[in-house]
Amino acid sequence: MELLYHTLKNGIRVVHLRTNGMVAHCGLVINTGSRNERGDEHGMVHFIEHMLFKGTQKRKTYHILSSLDDAGGELNAYTTKEETAIHASVLREEFEKAVDIISDITFNSVFPAREIEKEKDVIIEEINSYLDDPAELIFDDFEEMIFPGQPIGRNILGTPVTVKSFTQKALFQFFSGNYKTNQMVFCSVGNIPDEKVVRLVNKYFGAVISNIKKGRKYKPAFYIKSIVTKKMDTNQDHCIIGNVAYNIKDKRRIGMFLLNNLLGGQGLNSRLNLSLREKNGLAYNVESNYNAYLDTGVFSIYFGTDRQNLEKSIAITLFELNKLRNTRLGPLQFSKAKNQLKGYLARSYENHESLMLSLGKSLLVFNRIDSLEDICKKIDSLTTSELLEISNEVFEPSGLSTLIYK
């Protein structure tokens, strides 16, 4: 994988991978997420993400929304707890237009007061849609429960009260204080010559005023074990069982990713899918997740089941966790688990939009990008002893938290 690296004078870094194909993908990944917010700013990063599409000094909302769509492209954005991304997928002939628009909406948005008031209603409806979806809401509630009163525990959307309080002045102040040029990476994947990428990023991002800031420092996240049952008007019981895990720079995260995939990853042969769904018919949706943050991580198992099957489902889940704590994987099992994870990674590399965003985040967080071959070597170097140690630390019953919607 031959990558182009380039750094602008204002600190914005660039990474590009030239590939074949008619479609090009590009984006700007920014080291700002909801963890940067104070309590009274809860939801502001997500709100700003929405407002980037509402008008700039030279484009109205309609022109932003239709300029790429009219040519069969797509402009989108997302917010997480630790980053924001604005990205586009276009025919390669439209690549310059995509670069122009991403730069324009990021640095020249005017946050019109009238649009702010309309977008408050839109986001409150988005919040309400989550409240109506327990299978989504329970993940936010779980992290709020185990990280109480901490920015990392708060959901990304905010609350109706905080969203209604946002003003144009507050948005500009937050943007100025938190969106720094040396904490941004422009990333692209497509059949675009390296020299053209360098020329275009200099043309559209080079004039941005340098705004330098050291890497983020958060107050260390502290985990509070909790067991909570909430009364909800749902047809199923929903359950999450989980614990804190390893941060994004911890070497043990590779083993944690493998264990997570083995337990409840996307494969139909995951242990939880086989035991809860296929063998016992107790659940339709069952999954495990591992989210690695800068200073901590969260491992969780989720399933929805009929009320009369809740206790049995929990018992089966804990049994599967204890098997991994007490039983070393056999050579054939271990080999299959490694190959499955490597296969999923290889498939994700073939998704060029996903790859583009992954390149940007890797450069932003690690200041380097590992090749697929490098990552596969790390997977191959795992040992069953390492997996046992990870299992006994993360899956230890005395450390597990549980949230149930009944």
Token match 């185990």: residue?
Answer: 146
**CA atoms of 107 and 175, how far apart (whole Å):** 10
CA angle at 80 for the pair 211 and 372, rounded to the nearest 5°:
90
Output the CA torsion 342→344→345→346 (10° steps).
90
Residues near 159 by Cβ (< 8 Å), separated by ≥ 6? 42, 43, 127
Does this model's pTM top 0.85? My answer is yes
Residue 78 CB-density burial (10 A; 0-12 exposed, 13-18 middle, 19+ buried): middle
pLDDT tens for the chain, 406 residues long, are 899 999 999 999 999 999 999 999 999 999 999 999 999 999 999 999 999 999 999 999 999 999 999 999 999 999 999 999 999 999 999 999 999 999 999 999 999 999 999 999 999 999 999 999 999 999 999 999 999 999 999 999 999 999 999 999 999 999 999 999 999 999 999 999 999 999 999 999 999 999 887 766 788 899 999 999 999 989 999 999 999 999 999 999 999 999 999 999 988 999 999 999 999 999 999 999 999 999 999 999 999 999 999 999 999 999 999 999 999 999 999 999 999 999 999 999 999 999 999 999 999 999 999 999 999 999 999 999 999 999 999 999 999 999 999 9
Where exactly are the structural domains of the chain? 3-205, 227-405
Token match 């946002």: residue?
Answer: 166
The beta strand positions in 218-373, using DSSP E, are: 227-230, 237-245, 283-292, 297-305
SS3 136: helix
Give pLDDT tens digits for 223-254. 999 999 999 989 999 999 999 999 999 999 99
**CA atoms of 297 and 291, how far apart (whole Å):** 6
Closest CA to 15 of 390, 406, 380, 364: 364
**CA atoms of 88 and 96, how far apart (whole Å):** 11
Q: Evaluate whether 3-205 and 227-405 have a shared fold.
A: yes
**CA atoms of 327 and 388, how far apart (whole Å):** 8
Angle between helix 372-380 and helix 253-264 axes, rounded to 10 deg: 80
CATH fold label, 227-405? Cytochrome Bc1 Complex; Chain A, domain 1 (3.30.830)
Q: Which architecture does CATH list for 3-205? A: 2-Layer Sandwich (3.30)
Closest CA to 239 of 392, 400, 399: 400
**CA atoms of 104 and 290, how far apart (whole Å):** 35
- Token output for 398: 């005395």
- Token output for 299: 């491992």
Q: In angstroms, what CA-CA distances link 389 with 170, 301, 324, 400?
A: 47, 19, 10, 16
116: amino acid identity, one letter: I
**CA atoms of 174 and 41, how far apart (whole Å):** 9
